[in-house]
Structure 1
Amino acid sequence: MQAEQLQALKNWFIQYVKNFYHDDPDVQAGIELKEEHTKRVCEKILRIGSSLNLGAEDLYLAETIALFHDIGRFKQFALYHTFNDRRSENHALLGIRELERTGVLVALTEEERNLITRAIEYHNLCTLPPDLPGRLSLFARLIRDADKLDILEMFTASLDRKGDGPDTQQISGLPVTPGYSPVLVRNLLQGQLCYYDDMKNFNDRKLLMLSWIYDINFPCSLSEIVGNGYVEKIIACLPKTGEIQKVYDHLHAYIARRQAR
């Protein structure tokens, strides 16, 4: 993949997104939210890829995956007025259909198109399928890390701005009520990911976000999480209980072990 091909894809993306701009300020805010998220994920995937000493062509490919990883979000919001896949449809698969419908990737090689679409397909799965081919595994893990880093950044920023009062896009319909679900605490203490279906309130969403630490793939990504204090910021907005302290201690020890490798 060449630099001029990437630039052409960026130009296409700008025009595609403009088709969803809207006079309704709430709709426009949703479109801009995902447009800005995409820009930041592109920056983050380049940082991670550079830390791995990837060559220029692989960095172009990684940035293309980041550029299109949420392309389905725009049509999703236009059709369903939500970013919640459970209330609409899988935004990754919707995005792949849009890429295929528009033919925007037609100038790329078959291998490049396959890597892009498969990495997009896998970016929002709870866990990656086992035994992925080496290059697909690399790009799938790159976009998952970059995406998680930006969501963690947005999420913790919303906590900073509003104390314990999250904004609408981050809640996804979850009630702001006391307490949390024990199953999510158990998962965290066992070093396991938490699941959306187990969430009952917004505190559960915070716990689920903490469990993403177990699905971070690259040292650069983990260092960014530590440097920005995302774990501490989320813990500070959870109930002050012995269980939550144990969760923090467990995560802190896990991160220390990962960084010592």
Structure 2
Amino acid sequence: MNYNNAKEQFEKYLNSYDRDNGKVRLKIIHTYGVVHDMTEICKRMQLSDEDTELARIIALLHDIGRFEQLKRFDSFEPTTMDHAAYGVQVLFEESMIRQFVPESTWDDIIHTAIARHSDFKLEGITDPLTLLHARLIRDADKLDNCRVKLEDDLLVFMGASGEEIGAQAITPVIYDTVFKNQCVYSPDRVTRMDYWVSYVAYFLDINYRATLDIIEEHDYLNKIIDRIPYSNPDTRQKMEDIRTHLAEFIHTSPGYTWN
């Protein structure tokens, strides 16, 4: 198991896709951002070298299904393709995993972590090591998505400008969900503001204190909320309520423990 070898194979895989396409380019940057964040989380959690290497490889491969989704549908929407399911199909049903990891020792962990990384809730995993890696990739994925929400072009990943988004209302069920300490269920989103709320609500699904510490240190909650100019007065007030609630959650949540 060697991350650098896996990276070489990943770069070869990407040659089948249009690297000049804006959405493809965003996903490539995101992939390596998740690897970077995974490395930092593992360091802070003082994980073993083996677990760190495995976690970095899972991070490298977690969105491998996205590239075919973009090629076929030019969309990130889950209604067009289940990118996690397609990713494990490519890796395990088509046996591509052996190009990235020659040994089969960690196949079950890799399969589960990638297949479950975008599930609404992570449930039903009983093996402690598998659960560790399934939680890690969900944390690292969300952590880089903080960068995405701050740096990437809103028109590319939101399909609207900040001004357009901030003029919209927040659907009541979306607002109420946050105060139940639950993530937003994708089909419940109606407006682009609902989508924006869902991107801060995923802080409620962070697993490890190390990840929450990074979120606090980078002030991601405030930076993401403040990226949008809220011209809708009701939306502006609701976002301040959400800010207060989530800041308290991020600061006080103990997270899960490992070892």
Q: CA deviation at 1:51?
A: 1.1
CA distance in 1 between partners of 2:198 and 2:225 (Å) = 12
Cα contact 1:62–1:143 (8 A) shared by 2: yes
One-letter identity of the residue aligned with 2:157: Q
Closer, same or farther: CA 228–182 of 1 in aligned 2, 3 Å: same
Query: Aligned Cα RMSD in Å?
Result: 2.4
Alpha-carbon distance in 2 for matches of 1:102, 1:10: 17
Mind listing any 5+ residue stretches in structure 2 that lack a counterpart?
none
Q: Distance in 1 between matches of 2:251 and 2:23?
A: 37
Question: 1:155 touches 1:170 (CA, 8 Å); kept in 2?
Answer: no
Of 38, 50, 59, the residue aligned with 2:52 is 59
Aligned position for 1:13:
10
Within 5 Å, give how 1:190-201 maps onto structure 2: 190-201=180-191
Deviates more, 1:106-115 or 1:59-68: 106-115
2: CA distance between counterparts of 1:92 and 1:73? 8
Task: Say which of 207, 231, 243 aligns to 2:197.
Answer: 207
Displacement, 1:245?
2.5
Alignment check: 8 A CA contact 2:209 2:255 kept: no
CA distance in 1, matches of 2:18, 2:107: 28
Distance in 2 (alpha carbons) for counterparts of 1:29 and 1:245: 32
Task: Select the structure with the greater relative contact order (CA < 8 A; seq sep ≥ 6).
Answer: 2
Q: Matched residues in 1 for 2:254 and 2:123: separation?
A: 25
Q: Percent identity?
A: 27
CA offset digits 1:171-210 (Å, max 9, x no partner): 49xx745211111111111211111111111111111111
Structure 2 length-normalised TM: 0.86
Is 2:134 aligned against 1:125?
no
Does the Cα contact within 8 Å between 1:180 and 1:204 map onto a contact in 2? yes
Equivalent position to 1:76, from 57, 60, 69: 69
Partner of 1:98: 90
| Distance in 1 (alpha carbons) for counterparts of 2:181 and 2:22 | 36
Deviation of 1:260 after TM superposition, in Å, equals: 11
Render the CA deviation track for 1:188-244: whole Å, top value 9, x for unaligned.
112111111111111111111111111011122112212222211233324554433
For 2:147, the equivalent position in structure 1 comes to 153
Residues 1:80 and 1:243: Cα distance change in structure 2 (over 3 Å)? closer
Q: Which runs of 5+ in 1 are unaligned?
A: none
- Cα pair distance change 1:260/1:35, threshold 3 Å: closer
Distance 2:158 2:54 in 1: 29
Which range is displaced more, 95-104 or 214-223?
95-104
User: Is this contact kept in 1: 2:206–2:255, CA < 8 A?
Assistant: no
Q: Give TM-score scaled by structure 1 length.
A: 0.85
- 1:11 CA displacement: 0.9
Q: Which residue of 2 aligns with 1:113?
A: 107
Q: How much does 1:131 deviate?
A: 4.3
